[in-house]
Structure 1
Amino acid sequence: MAAPERRFPILVVGATGAFGQRIAELLARGEAIELVVAGRTRDALEAKAAALSTSSGHPVRVAVLDANVATAADVAALGVRLVINASGPYEAGSTTLARAAIAAGCHSIDLADSRAFVAGFGALDEAARAAGVLAVTGASSVPGLSSAVVAALRGGFATVDAIDIAISPGNAFDPGVATVASVLGGVGQPVGMLLDWQWRTVHGWQGLGRGSFGSAGRRWLGYVDVPDLDLFAREDARLGTVRFRAGLEVLPFHLGLWAASWLVRAGLIGSLAPLAPGLLAIKRALARLGSDRGGMFVELRGRDAEGHPKAVRWLLEAGSGHGPYVPALTSVALARRLASGAETRRGAMACFGLVGLDVILAEAAGLDIKCSTHDTAHEP
């Protein structure tokens, strides 16, 4: 009788955080995954492991690990094949955990949406290739999911002039201090953005406008700095506009950031990031405002094969508080491909068109997440 095949061991760092816990929950669904949850607080990790063990019927291991100081020996001691870093924040050059995983001969995936972090990640490529592993950054809503959407829509166009992406979570979402600090750190800061065939300098959370998110309603939006702004422009030199915006559901919150952005832009405040704990406390106290519904859209504008103007919008609507699973979907899909042997690429790279849209959305089975695509009016 053949011995049962060993399950693929995956370490999730930041497994009690806003997105890490969702990654762990989705991975625990699979029979082929052996899960190790890691972070800095053992009590919270033990509780998470116990809950996942009960729901999955498989034991879940616990490791106390700090992503900022982890070594190759720390990773190797756990006997894992893949490390997923969901701990954040992802600051330029802070690749300690990815380097430790590579040195230990492990694949690595992170959820970075920092433009500078993703831009510099290629510095790990030579080491990753030498170790025979895949190191991926940005396996999140952007650029992982957004690039998969664009790849799926692009076939209907002869040329694409503009890519417009926007995200707005429901106010019920509790993002944690690190995520809030990352968002606040971009408020009022200069952002290089391709608009109307010219690189222009805009500022975070300015460019005030509105966008529709289906059942989540119309939301106010502002500019945000993300890796997509570079990646799409580099992929297609014919693009005239690559725009990314985000918005808060509760209007006073969004307008508050917009107003503060002018203070940062004027140099009166260096950064709003230090205010993260206080502002998050206010948000939590007012959690009853807004809803548990969020959304994301990706719109392409250009011309079809006959030269006629064409515009297509892909819309994701998330309800029942399931929006925070969206940033987790791409990393989980890529992890399963590595576990099954379907993913054979090696080296260090951004998660830009690495995973197909259908493969990513398959991970949303059973969640209150629905997607639709439709043509929209477009003027030349």
Structure 2
Amino acid sequence: MGRIIIVGGYGAFGARAAERLAREPGLDVIIAGRSLASARAQAGMLSPTAEASVTAAALDATRVTAQELRALAPGVVINASGPFQAQDYHLARTCIAAGCHYVDLADARGFVTGITQLDAEARAANVSVVSGASSVPGLSSAAVRHMAGNLAQLDEVHIGISPGNSFDPGIATAASIISAAGKPIQARSGGRWTTLYAWHGLHRHVFPEIGARWMSDVDVPDLELLPQHYPELRTARFSAGLEVSVFHLGLWAAAGLVRAGLLRDLGALAPPMLAAKRRLSMLGTDAGGMFVRVVGRDQQGTSRASTWTLIARRGDGPYVPAMASVILAKRLVTGEGPPPGATPCFGLFPLADFEAEVADLDITCTLEREAQIAA
């Protein structure tokens, strides 16, 4: 029986990972976190219909010791206790010391790309340490690799995500998003590194089925990882969008105050902004979207473009960031996961695995290939 601990298994994304893993016969799922009451409540909700064994445990990701972790005897620990912008690698190091695999749902650029500093330790302990098993870079890189497979050269990648307004990120996540507004971002553009600014670069993107939404530049690990994996890449861009225009444009305007030096940080505005979003939740919908567009050249030098699009309805969008960790955890407990070492979650599973995992949800994935585009 494979034992998987989900730290933060009662949070927005950890609960979705727990729900999916609880459907797997032969697994032993432990929902853990600082609040034993919350962990027990989540386990109690899942247990009646679970195929797996589901229990609860108290575990503080910032303080747990290797001895405490060994006592729980996990094969894999999923860290869903974000946001990760201010976290260190304590839990990952503890997993290495305890001899178990580690997977997290981080999407903070520095946290995800810096995980390689644990590579030698992880190899010596014969465990896999994976950071970024989330929408980015885990899923986004799977989509890029799928579409770039028939290209001789990859020139441009543009990734975008816009959740439905009904999604409630919680105060900690909201604060991490808002605090980044107006801060500089280093990104590859036109063949050189350039400075962008978070929540600027305002533009519209038209999603199939759910329509046009405002989007702006946001920092993600992909902006650093894509040029590492595709040295010929000229442009890498990531955009995020808030469904309700007044929210998005308000954040865009506030980001300008930070960029101009009139405000140091918008983090203090997170509570009132989240409260306003909650009060006006009826303005939006439960539908969100994600797209990954690649442009490159085939073996004949012809310019080609492909776009993979995901549309999530009925509030199923929050499952998307959880699925990469579910896929990898199931692989690791069967000995089929990534080799020992510490690595960002870039291209660690095929896109088909994700699409199969969400087939029972109100999530549709489409791939459009353009026959030829202008040079």
Q: Structure 1-normalised TM-score?
A: 0.95
In 2: Cα distance, 1:220 partner to 1:60 partner: 41
* Amino acid corresponding to residue 305 of structure 2 in structure 1: A
Q: What is aligned with 2:133?
A: 139
Cα offset, 1:58, TM superposition: 4.3
Cα offset, 1:379, TM superposition: 2.7
Larger displacement relative to structure 2 (43-52 or 217-226):
43-52
Q: What is aligned with 1:34?
A: 28
> Within 5 A, what are the aligned runs for 1:1-380?
7-91=1-85, 94-343=88-337, 345-376=339-370, 378-380=373-375
| Offset from partner CA, 1:195-238 (integer Å, 9 cap, x none) | 11121101000000011221121111000001101111111221
Larger displacement relative to structure 2 (34-43 or 56-65):
56-65
Distance 1:158 1:57, change over 3 A: closer
Cα offset, 1:57, TM superposition: 4.7
Larger displacement relative to structure 2 (72-81 or 237-246):
72-81
In 2: Cα distance, 1:272 partner to 1:375 partner: 40
Query: Secondary structure, in 3 states, of the residue corresponding to 2:278?
Result: helix
Cα offset, 1:312, TM superposition: 0.7
Contact 1:191–1:202 (CA under 8 A) maintained in structure 2: yes
Aligned CA RMSD, in angstroms, stands at: 1.3
In 2: Cα distance, 1:155 partner to 1:57 partner: 37
Distance 1:156 1:279, change over 3 A: same
Structure 2: 5+ residue runs without aligned partners? none
Cα offset, 1:92, TM superposition: 5.8
Identity of aligned residues (%): 50
Distance 1:312 1:362, change over 3 A: same
Cα offset, 1:77, TM superposition: 1.8
Contact 1:92–1:120 (CA under 8 A) maintained in structure 2: no
* Amino acid corresponding to residue 121 of structure 1 in structure 2: I
Query: Secondary structure, in 3 states, of the residue corresponding to 1:215?
Result: coil
Cα offset, 1:361, TM superposition: 2.1
Larger displacement relative to structure 2 (153-162 or 25-34):
153-162
Cα offset, 1:288, TM superposition: 1.0
In 1: Cα distance, 2:53 partner to 2:86 partner: 36
Query: Secondary structure, in 3 states, of the residue corresponding to 2:149?
Result: helix
Q: Give the aligned length.
A: 374
* Amino acid corresponding to residue 367 of structure 1 in structure 2: L
In 2: Cα distance, 1:58 partner to 1:323 partner: 24
Contact 1:213–1:295 (CA under 8 A) maintained in structure 2: yes
Structure 1: 5+ residue runs without aligned partners? 1-6
In 2: Cα distance, 1:265 partner to 1:77 partner: 49
Contact 1:213–1:294 (CA under 8 A) maintained in structure 2: no
